[in-house]
Chain A
Amino acid sequence: MITLQELERHLAQLAPDHPERRAAVVPAMQALQAERGHLDDAAVAEVAQLTGQSTTEVEELATFYSLIYRRPVGRHVLQICDSACCSMRGADRLLASAEKTSDVSMGEVTSDGTLSVLPSICLGLCDRAPAALIDGEALGPLDEAALEALLRRLRGKG
């Protein structure tokens, strides 16, 4: 992922109406989200400033992409795959267990702000089903025990 600084340097070299300005919108959203935790309204406006788009144009993209979070997420994000292979190997139970163990609903943030659990499309970890990503790192095959241990560790670390 490109940093905000690198992005600004790259954009500074482009003329205001260069078509590749708007092409930077996805890296810009990712960079700001990495800094802020999620892409809030102010961040959408900042992205718009960078790319020369309107806030609506940025919002059109921010709300399309699954990995751009327009609402707060926990410091840790656990994405549990619910596609075919993982589903065949117990993903539904993992999802339910994750919610129960962390006392949080899918998509919400735990009360201490540490964790969000999200379902995900196929993660390309079918050979390690049922699988998940924790902060982008691959996990699997997971069972409920391993999941519970992970969640306790994440919440404990705070």
Chain B
Amino acid sequence: MEAILTRHLDPAKPLGLEAYRAAGGYRSLAAAFDLKPEAIIRTVEAANLRGRGGAGFSCGLKWRFRGLDAPRPRYLVCNLDESEPGTFKDRHLLYGGPHQILEAVIVAAYALQVERAIIFIRGEYAHGAARLTLALAEAKAAGLVGANIDGSGFDLKIEIHLSAGRYICGEETALLNALEGRRPNPRHKPPRPSVKGLWGQPTTTNNVETLVNVPHILLNGADWFCGLGVNGGCGPKLYGVSGKVHQPGLFERPMGTTARELIFNHGGGLAEGRTLLGFLPGGASTAFLLPEHLDMPMDFDPVARAGSRLGTGGIIVLDDASCPVAIALNLMRFFARESCGFCTPCRDGLPYLEQILAAIHAGEGRAEDLPLLEELCDKIAPQSFCAFAPGAIMPLTSSLHCFREHYEQHIATGRCPFDAANEGGA
């Protein structure tokens, strides 16, 4: 397929305003102003654009649910807090194409008729945020952001907020607390943020990759967008392939591309003599898929039917030299460390799981540890306050299911079969 979202990305030297415009940038504004908000929302819904931040919820539906006459002021938040292991698509969008992001935010803000949009960027992307700041200044100077954009009568303020770390800030309601200057614990729903979000006002949050699809949908139509996908998917998808592959990278492919194609055609396949153990289809908070799933379309519904989640579409590949126990431990350590500490199951449950996994990996596991892990997973995931802990549990539960014999071997032999001599023990 021809590149759409990645066509003008250049991380070495992103396009400035003039070059971006010359390449066709910001044309979608006129299209948006012509269509008007209600029609834009209908089009986006018809295009079946699903959230690229991990949840896969229909973007158009989310926008429609907020309601055209939600009380003012209203806010749009562009979530660029990408911190999910295995995920780097938003970094590419930010560093390589700041104006593409701004164009998307403007048309989305117009569709939602919000007065202020805030782009929330993780602190580790500070240099990218600096690029976006420059691009925003250019856009303001050119009248593309501010009062009466391009004579449309639409006023919009865009602000860039650079976060100060922590994975939980990417959770929608924790992000709102972070913006308000509060501790970034998640909030209870109801009320939903679309009703009471930032400072108690209706707030819509979308992942940056979701948003950058919108200008193209407006310019080319819903049917076109859907036609870009394969195997029932709609639109392009920025897939990441990383882990035990030759050529880790970002690949813009039709939504619904198979894992096989992504891992072997684009990711360069595995190292010499290695075989595929399994892969996480969309970042750390998903369930492992196995070689038998290689021909599965990497799209939300097929992956969900197989018991996993497409999530961010960042595929992490494990080969037969990877210790699944070590991976599970690494992931659990990550989640335990990033827990905000609000609710008991996550705060105290994840370190407990980490402790058991560490014992197993170090050869100090016991037979009863495996049913214990499963029992704890069952208690932790459903009872937590937000989706963080369920996301932490998912790879562990599936690892125990898919790679149980590895755990049993660690326990039986009292050591990790993949010792330190073997590529960092994983």
Contact = CB atoms under 8 A, between A and B. Distances in A.
A127 B249 contact: yes
Contacts of B82: 124
Contact of B284 (A84, A91, A124): A84
Interface residues of A, number: 47
B76 interface: no
B184 interface: yes
Given A68-B165, A84-B334, A124 B130 contact: no
Interface string A118-158: 00111111111100010011100000000000000000000
Contacts of A137: 127
Given A122-B83, A124-B125, A136-B126, A89 B424 contact: yes
A78 interface: no
A93 interface: yes
Interface string A58-90: 001100111110000000000100111101111
Given A26-B181, A88-B322, A126 B164 contact: no
Interface in B374-426: 423-426
Interface string B75-91: 00000001111111011
Contacts of B90: 124
Contacts of B127: 136-138
Interface in B66-121: 82-88, 90-91
Given A87-B426, A126-B86, A30 B242 contact: no
Contacts of A67: 123-124, 163-165
Interface in B231-288: 240-244, 248-250, 284
Interface string B308-320: 0000001010100
Most chain B CB neighbours (cut-off 10 Å) among A30, A87, A127, A129: A127
B163 A92 contact: no
B163 A26 contact: yes
Most chain A CB neighbours (cut-off 10 Å) among B86, B125, B129, B166: B86
B41 to A, nearest CB: 29
Contact of B87 (A25, A51, A126): A126
A111 to B, nearest CB: 27
B265 to A, nearest CB: 16
Contacts of A123: 124
A1 B160 CA distance: 9
A123 B314 CA distance: 13
A23 interface: yes
A22 B198 CA distance: 13
Contact of A64 (B91, B183, B322): B183
A29 interface: yes
A137 B326 CA distance: 29
Contact of B330 (A23, A30, A84, A136): A84
Nearest to B179: A23
B178 interface: yes
Nearest to B181: A22
A61 B183 contact: yes
B199 A66 contact: no
B330 A120 contact: no
Interface in B135-163: 161-163
Given A19-B180, A66-B164, A127-B248, A1 B338 contact: no
Contacts of B166: 64-66
Given A1-B129, A84-B316, A26 B164 contact: yes
A120 B334 CA distance: 10
A37 interface: no
A24 B331 CA distance: 33
Nearest to A83: B85
Contacts of A87: 326-327, 330, 424, 426
B337 interface: yes
B200 to A, nearest CB: 9
B199 A19 contact: yes
A138 B334 CA distance: 21
Contacts of B85: 83-85, 121-122, 126
25 contacts: A1-B130, A19-B199, A22-B180, A26-B178, A51-B181, A60-B183, A61-B181, A64-B183, A65-B164, A65-B165, A66-B166, A84-B85, A84-B331, A87-B326, A88-B318, A88-B327, A88-B423, A88-B424, A91-B424, A122-B85, A123-B124, A124-B87, A124-B90, A126-B242, A127-B241
Interface of A: 1, 19-27, 29-30, 51, 53, 60-61, 64-68, 79, 82-85, 87-93, 120-129, 133, 136-138
